[in-house]
Amino acid sequence: MGRVGFGIAVGCAALSLTIAGILVTKRVKNRRKWSRILEILAEFEEGCSTSTARLRQVVGAMTVEMHAGLASDGGSKLGMLLTFIDKLPTGNEKGIYYALDLEGTNLKVSRVQLGGGRSMILRHEVAQQPIPRNLMTGTSEDLFDFISMTLEQFVAKEEDDFEQRPDISKELGFTFSFPVRHLSVSSGLLIKWTKGFAIEDAVGKDIAQCLDEAMTKRGLDMRVAALVNDTVGTLALGHYHDKDTVAAVIIGTGTNACYVECTDAIIKCQGLFADSGGMVVNMEWGNFWSSHLPRTSYDIELNDESPTRNDQGFEKMISGMYLGDIVRRVLYRIAQASDVFGDAAACLSVPFVLRTSLMAAMHEDDSPDLRDVSRILQENFQMPEISLKARRLVVSVCDIVTRRAARLSAAGIVGILKKIGRDGSGGIGSGRTKGKMLRTVVAIEGCLYSGYSMFRNYLDEAVVEILGEQIAQNVVLRAYENGSGTGAALLAASHSSGNLFFFSGKVPCTVRGRTGLRSSSSSPLSSLMLTVIVV
């Protein structure tokens, strides 16, 4: 070998060593990159931990807060607002009733024909009308004039077989899902607006009265028989179909819950409801908070940047409004720490750019190569084609967030069951009659539970895990759709002059250490035997 050949050989060897060195360096960098990514993921997963023991602590904290909220206004993060609903539909209601559902950017109008005698709903018609943006920040007169006009047009389109006698006033259920201080079942003062509404002159006004005046102005012979929120409407629909329904939960864009409480346990209003054995309580549980809730740095950042800072803590961990953004924040942290997502960090820095519906779609992608994950990331974040390993990472983050939300929702539901003695914990509040566990139904509405199978599965599993299989087999979680509007019409029926049914029977209560049987006349819930333990 000549000098030239030797030089070439040495050069090739040097080049090989250089290439090998580059590859080794790259592998080391990749290992370090993924090591850092896995650290971020592991830290987040640990922070979101919802062990059975922790969930039971949340259950206990929820129950304590419920007691405090029933004892005094402002005594708890939970509103525990009285609805004055002491009658729930029984299936015996007859007639034609109407409902309005102001659900945010849309107004729904419904008409329901009830046959009585457990024949259930004979006919049901619904129309939807978008609310002009200017009315959401205008005057109360303009808003309620629009609502009454929409209602008038809907009523005018009645078919002959849907018409009522002209001498009978039409009764209306009004679903108004904004914070209201109820004065009666059919009246309440607006506390504040949410969901983009900002009509200043309406705050402090009786919402039902505003609607009644607008209807009178248009010559509509109608009256508001029940003013409710969406949770109460769902409870009404659930009870109409199944008399063992004692609570309702909304888990969608927002979240809330209500349940039937023994009036003797409502200490802040004792003596005001002498004729009722039970009362529906609107918990406003989105504002629940406890040190037992698994809070991460991402939750803290979301809260600090929120217009509702230090409010709605529970809602920010379990509702559809926020879950997608929590996932986004974790992915953004990963994008800042590595190049696994290419140059997508800028897109991931935008708050709420990742909607929960997209998060759910990625989470439930069961294709071998996770092609839906890749498509969603490319279309919404201009992300390049990322590796299958990176796509699996995204799914893992979605799973952690969803699992925590669903399991905390389950703990909230069991907290309600514990409060009304349906958790099988023993004593007078054990939810037993003659040694047998009572059947308990919880009505659930909202896209997270009805349309997101992974969320629903995690929630259902957690309820069984907390209660134990023996107790859980007596608890039924039942999904409903459009329950708030239909439920409002049913409540108008149950509170109309022609359908007077009250909570009755003997409702065992333990209040301040005293056990007694409270009786009232003719209740649709006589079979519930609600038991309340106040500790």
Rg (CA), the chain: 28
Could you tell me the end-to-end alpha-carbon distance of the chain, in angstroms, rounded to an integer?
Answer: 96
- Tell me which DSSP letter residue 439 carries: P
Domain match, 328 and 470 both: yes
- Determine, yes or no, domain membership for 223: yes
Assign residue 168 the CATH number of its domain: 3.30.420.40
Domain match, 378 and 282 both: yes
Domain match, 263 and 190 both: no
- Which residue among 198, 228, 258 closes a domain? 228
Domain match, 192 and 94 both: yes
Containing domain of residue 101, as a range? 84-228
> Would the pTM count as exceeding 0.75?
yes
Domain match, 72 and 90 both: no
- Which residue among 163, 193, 228 closes a domain? 228
**pLDDT confidence band for 159 (50 / 70 / 90):** low
- Determine, yes or no, domain membership for 62: yes
- Determine, yes or no, domain membership for 501: no
Q: Which tokens in the block code for residue 299?
A: 């939750």
**pLDDT confidence band for 519 (50 / 70 / 90):** very low
Per-residue pLDDT at 90: 85
Per-residue pLDDT at 530: 29
pLDDT at residue 6 greater than cutoff 60: no
Per-residue pLDDT at 525: 32
**pLDDT confidence band for 8 (50 / 70 / 90):** low
**pLDDT confidence band for 2 (50 / 70 / 90):** low
CA distance linking residue 444 with residue 421, whole number of Å: 20
Domain match, 72 and 88 both: no
Domain match, 130 and 247 both: no
- Which sign, positive or negative, has the C-alpha torsion 414, 448, 53, 59? negative
- Determine, yes or no, domain membership for 75: yes
Q: Which tokens in the block code for residue 345?
A: 């960090």
Domain match, 397 and 248 both: yes
Domain match, 250 and 359 both: yes
CA distance linking residue 85 with residue 410, whole number of Å: 25
Nearest of 86, 97, 192, 112 to residue 482 by alpha carbon:
112
- Which residue among 228, 252, 282 closes a domain? 228
Assign residue 455 the CATH number of its domain: 3.40.367.20
* Size of the chain, expressed as the number of residues it contains: 535
- Determine, yes or no, domain membership for 8: no
- Determine, yes or no, domain membership for 442: yes
CA distance linking residue 335 with residue 320, whole number of Å: 23
pLDDT tens-digit series, residues 48-70: 999 999 999 999 999 999 999 99
pLDDT tens-digit series, residues 332-360: 999 998 888 888 888 899 999 999 999 99
At 514, give phi and psi (nearest 5°).
-105, 135
- Determine, yes or no, domain membership for 446: yes
Domain match, 100 and 60 both: no
Q: What is the mean pLDDT of the chain?
A: 84
CA within 13 Å, CB half, 395? 21
User: What are the strands, taking DSSP E only, across 86-120?
Assistant: 94-102, 106-115
- Tell me which DSSP letter residue 219 carries: T
Determine the average pLDDT of the residues in 72-92: 89
* Long-range contacts, 336-343 (Cβ 8 Å, 24+): 337/36, 337/37, 337/40, 338/33, 338/34, 338/36, 338/37, 339/33, 340/33, 340/34, 340/37, 340/386, 340/387, 340/390, 340/393, 341/377, 341/381, 341/383, 341/386, 341/390, 342/383, 342/384, 342/386, 343/384
Q: Which tokens in the block code for residue 21?
A: 């060195």
Domain match, 193 and 216 both: yes
Number of folded domains that form the chain = 2
Under a CB-based contact definition with an 8 Å cutoff, are residues 479 and 442 in contact?
no
Domain match, 376 and 456 both: yes
Per-residue CA distances from 92 to 5, 33, 74, 118 (Å): 103, 66, 38, 6
- Determine, yes or no, domain membership for 513: no
Per-residue pLDDT at 1: 56
Q: Which tokens in the block code for residue 82?
A: 């009285």
Type of residue at 131: I
